[in-house]
Every structure is written in C-alpha cells, then in structure tokens.
Amino acid sequence: MTAHADAFDRWIRTAFVEMNTSLENEYFAREDRASVAGVGDCIKAALRDEGQVHVAKLLEEGNTDDGFDSAFGVLGNVGLYLGALRRHELTNPAREERSPFAQASALALHCGASLGMAPRFATAHLATHNRALGGVRKSFTSLTDETLFLDENTRGILSLQTAADALRRIVPLGVSSAAADVLFDTAKRALQNVIEFNRRLFAQLDVERFFFCVRPYYKPYRVGRQEYRGANAGDFSGINEIDLLLGLCRASDPYYAQLLVDKMLFMLPEEQARLRACMTYRSLLDEFLAAAGCSGADWFQRNAAAFLEVCSLFGQTAAQHHDLLVKRFIEAPAARLKPGQLDGLTASGPPLPVLLKSLETLRDLRTAAPRDDLATRHRDLQRIRGLAYTLRPPSI
Ligand code: HEM
C-alpha cells in the first residue's frame, strides 16, 4: 500500500468511524429517527472535507500499479466514504444528475475499471476481504449492532462458500462416486452453520438500530453520472454457485440469468470466474435425474439421500432469510414509516414491494416450492425423493 492509501485506510478505520457513530447517536436520539437533515452539520462537513483531502492525494498519485489488493482497498475506502456521504444526505441520486463528489467518483471509477468491478464498495470489502487489524474490522460505525451484523453476515457468507466449494468438487467426481459422501457431508455441516448464524442474527440484532443506523449506509449512490445500487450481503458468488450446482435455479431462466448479470460486477473477479464456470456444468439434480435408471443401486440411494438433505438445508437458509430476517428487519419497520420516508429504502433501489416479491421468488426457487406460476424444481425433487425410496422424506 502507498503512503497515501495507507493514510486513507487509517482515517477510514478511526476518525471516519467516530464521526459516523456520533451522527448516528444524534439521529437516533431524535423523535423522528428517519430525518437527518440539519442534524450534526459540523460533523458532516468535517467528514466530507477530511475524506476529500485523502481522495485528492490519491487521485493525484494516480494508478501506482501497487497490485490488486491496494486498488481493491482504495476502492473499498472511497466507496465507504461515498456510502457515508449518501447516508448523511450530502448526496442523493434522486436530486442530482451526477455525483457532487467529482474527485471521489474519478478515483472510484479508476479503481473499479482497473479491477473489473463496479466503482463502489462491495460486500467483499466489509465481509470476506475486510482485514481486521488488532481484532478490529472495518465498519461505518462502532455500534455493536453494526459489528454484529457484519460478523454474522461474514460467517454466513464463508459457510455458504464452503458449501459451494464442496458441491463444486462433486462435479468432476460424478454423482455415483463413493467419495462424494465426504463432500455432501461438508456442504451439510456448512449449511447447518448458516442456519445457526441466521438464528443468532435474528435473536440478537436490534431492529431499530439496524433499520435506522446500519441499513442506510447500503443505499444506492451516484459515481460520476451513473447511479450504482447498494451492496448487500448477497454479492458473493457462493450462493449462486449452490443454486446452479444443486440445480434449484437455472442460468437459462431469464429472471435468474438477469440477476446473475446484474450482480456480476459487484463480485471479486475470481468469484466472477467461478460463477461463470458453474453456469457451464450440468447440475447435480439433472445428474440424478439422468441416472434414474440406476435408482436401485447403493450409490444412488446413498448419494441421492445426501443430495436431498443438502437441498433441504439450503432451502431452510433461504426461508430464514426471507421469512425471518427480511420480514423482521426490513418489512416490519418499513411498515411503520410515514409516507415519503420510504425513498431509497432498499439497497438495489426498487420500491420495497417489488424487492420483496423478487426475494420471495428466490426463496421459492431455493425451497423448490410448488408454484404454478414459477418454474421451480418441485416435481423433479419429488421424483428423486420417490426414487430414493429407502429415505425418510426431507422437509422440502
Ligand atoms: C439482518 C439481516 C439481513 C437482512 C435484513 C437482509 C436483507 C436483505 C435484503 C433487503 C436484500 C435485498 C437487497 C436489495 O436488493 O435491496 C438482501 C439480499 C441478499 N441477502 Fe440478505 N439480509 C440479511 C442478512 C443476510 C445474510 C446473513 C446473508 C447470507 C450470508 C444474506 C444473503 C443475501 C443474499 C444472497 C442476497 C441477494 C439476493 C439473493 O440471492 O437471495 N443476507 N438481503
């Protein structure tokens, strides 16, 4: 890291966090927690100006060819800075045609384009590639609810990546391989962990703090002329690798393919490559269907049972996300807002009902729910369940 990049990183980890935390405490103490205009103006100005000094130096320095990690780190830091400016209403894409922060935009565009990523902070910056120094990871604030959210998210993402990695290793072995058992087992245990992390998050996260002090940092903002959607915990390829490998979602489905295209640039380049590879494999479900004639074989009984269990656990994680987390932490508090306060509520930008519908579609694909209006794999899974006749039917 260059001296300027290092100084910016130090500022993001210290003064930036302190200023955001002070502002959050001021907003949260007000009767109307959703309105931030006119509150803490001196702190907001200091945050904007101090960050700008770092940005200007980095922009002047240009691309120092200091390697991927450095550019990725600067992209994350300038992204956190712009995300905070958006959160404090120092910029708002609805009232501007271009970002008022031209230098920060230029720096983000330069880094994003050179890395092959969207020019804003991504999930990886706050989760899988959020380097802890002395036990402290990067965050917008030092509020315990933000760190709880970040840490449980990261654990969930890491476990989904473990499950995806195990399932991917079955592809070259084939579903009849005796050795597939160890991989199904790894995937099962990883998904059980995700269920546990989701439960903990549901039980421990404070609804009001999350809704009013954490979520607003994930709103869309402009970089240059263009508006970029916010990061969300879902911008990693592992979850989609699982979708495709299990066969619950298909890259040939126009709805799902669009989702993959939209999220591609929010992922690390290495994840983009893994996801593209997964689009070319035959799914495990299709492998089992193709092997239906061998359903009497021991391998089919054993491996199909393990496969169905993995599908069931994965479906449970998807149901938890929608029916517990989204409902409790987004839908319920949003219903209590006054009209006009719903603008910019979601990370991706669409109005909340539209977003909820699309998250519901994902849940139903992942749980293989019986739906006449959606091509889920319900019948195909039923077929495998019927063939794996020695099994107790799993719950999906
Ligand atoms: C308080 C907890 C959480 C809440 C309230 C929440 C809410 C949301 C919302 C509202 C979206 C849609 C974002 C948008 O487009 O605007 C989303 C997307 C997503 N979230 Fe979460 N989330 C939470 C935790 C998690 C965790 C722990 C994970 C996994 C580790 C996760 C995985 C995903 C994924 C993969 C997506 C992308 C859509 C999909 O493929 O399902 N979320 N989340």
Residue with the smallest CA separation from ligand 1 atom 16 is 347
Residue with tokens 């669009």: 258
**Angstrom distance (rounded) from CA 355 to CA 366:** 17
- Name the residue of 321, 343, 348, 362 whose CB sits within 8 Å of the most ligand 1 atoms, as the mutation to test its pocket: 321
What is the reported pLDDT for 66?
73
Region 243-266: what's the mean pLDDT?
95
Share of the chain above pLDDT 70, in %: 94
Side-chain half-sphere exposure of 22, counting CA atoms within 13 A? 13
Phi-psi region of 67 (alpha: psi -120 to 50; beta: other; left: phi over 0): left
Question: Which atom of ligand 1 approaches the CA of 317 most closely?
Answer: 29
**Angstrom distance (rounded) from CA 195 to CA 181:** 21
Element (H, E) at 365: helix 352-366
Q: Kindly list the distances between the CA atom of residue 196 and the CA atoms of 177, 191, 232, 321, in Å, as whole numbers in the listed order.
A: 30, 9, 20, 12
First vs last C-alpha separation in the chain? 49
Residue with the smallest CA separation from ligand 1 atom 39 is 234
What is the reported pLDDT for 231?
78
> φ and ψ at 243, to 5 degrees?
-50, -50
What does the DSSP 8-state code read for residue 294? Answer: G
What is the reported pLDDT for 206?
98
| 348 touches 229 (CB < 8 A) | yes
What is the reported pLDDT for 342?
64
What is the reported pLDDT for 67?
78
Residue 388 has pLDDT above 90, yes or no: no
Residue 80 has pLDDT above 90, yes or no: yes
Q: Comparing C-alpha atoms, which of 345, 36, 314, 375 is closest to residue 188?
A: 314
**Angstrom distance (rounded) from CA 80 to CA 77:** 5
**Angstrom distance (rounded) from CA 222 to CA 208:** 27
| Mean pLDDT comparison of 254-258, 332-336, 365-369, 386-390, highest-scoring range | 365-369
Residue 8 has pLDDT above 80, yes or no: yes
Ligand 1 center to 381 CA (angstroms): 25
Region 44-62: what's the mean pLDDT?
95
Residue 63 has pLDDT above 80, yes or no: no
Region 21-37: what's the mean pLDDT?
95
Residue 102 has pLDDT above 80, yes or no: yes
Residue with the smallest CA separation from ligand 1 atom 33 is 234
What is the reported pLDDT for 64?
62
> pLDDT-based confidence at 389, cuts 50/70/90?
low
Ligand 1 center to 322 CA (angstroms): 8
What is the reported pLDDT for 351?
84
Residue with the smallest CA separation from ligand 1 atom 31 is 233
Q: In angstroms, what is the C-alpha Rg of the chain?
A: 22
Instruction: Output the ligand 1 site: residues, CB below 6 A.
Output: 149, 152-153, 156-157, 160, 198, 201, 205, 210, 232-234, 239, 321, 325-326, 329-330, 346-348, 355, 359, 362
Question: Which atom of ligand 1 approaches the CA of 198 most closely?
Answer: 27
- Name the residue of 359, 366, 367 whose CB sits within 8 Å of the most ligand 1 atoms, as the mutation to test its pocket: 359
Arithmetic mean of pLDDT over the chain: 93
Residue 178 has pLDDT above 90, yes or no: yes
Q: Kindly list the distances between the CA atom of residue 384 and the CA atoms of 8, 50, 301, 306, 307, in Å, as whole numbers in the listed order.
A: 55, 60, 10, 12, 10
Residue 2 has pLDDT above 90, yes or no: no
- Name the residue of 325, 354, 355, 358 whose CB sits within 8 Å of the most ligand 1 atoms, as the mutation to test its pocket: 325
Share of the chain above pLDDT 90, in %: 87
**Angstrom distance (rounded) from CA 366 to CA 99:** 38
What is the reported pLDDT for 234?
84
Q: List the structure tokens of 348.
A: 């991706």
Ligand 1 center to 237 CA (angstroms): 13
Residue 252 has pLDDT above 60, yes or no: yes
**Angstrom distance (rounded) from CA 162 to CA 277:** 17
> pLDDT-based confidence at 217, cuts 50/70/90?
very high
Contacts of 185 (CB under 8 A, 6+ apart): 306
Residue 343 has pLDDT above 90, yes or no: no
Region 112-128: what's the mean pLDDT?
94
